[in-house]
Amino acid sequence: MEDRKWMAQIRRGALDLCILAILSHGKRYGYDIAHALSEAEGFVIKEGTIYPLLSRMMGEGYVAAEWQPSPQGPQRKYYTLTKLGEARLAAMRAEWQRFTRDVDRLFEGSEDGS
């Protein structure tokens, strides 16, 4: 169905922003991030999708990770935002807000929003 393809593209494009937003509330491990995303309607993300993104974000300096003991088995790798990640999230959020405002203006039929 075309609607599903379109929505999947939008979600994929917003995934980095969403992961950074989740991490802005505190440290999380991979499964926990995937679960938080799945609570948003339409974001059914598998753990296997999350880890390559987190790895890339670590390489870019936006996310840091550390192993910590888990009360339910083996250690877990917890991810947190770095200062650079906080700045990246702020920039992405500003762009997202600008983008959605522009799209809303198009729906309203006015370039200046009036």
Q: Per-residue pLDDT tens for 67-111? A: 999 888 899 999 999 999 999 999 999 999 999 999 999 999 865
pLDDT of residue 1: 54
CA–CA separation, 52 and 56 (whole Å): 6
CA–CA separation, 74 and 26 (whole Å): 21
Q: Which domains are assigned to the chain? A: 2-108 (1.10.10.10)
pLDDT of residue 49: 84
The structure's pTM equals 0.85
Q: Per-residue pLDDT tens for 15-56? A: 999 999 999 999 999 989 998 998 877 677 777 889 999 999
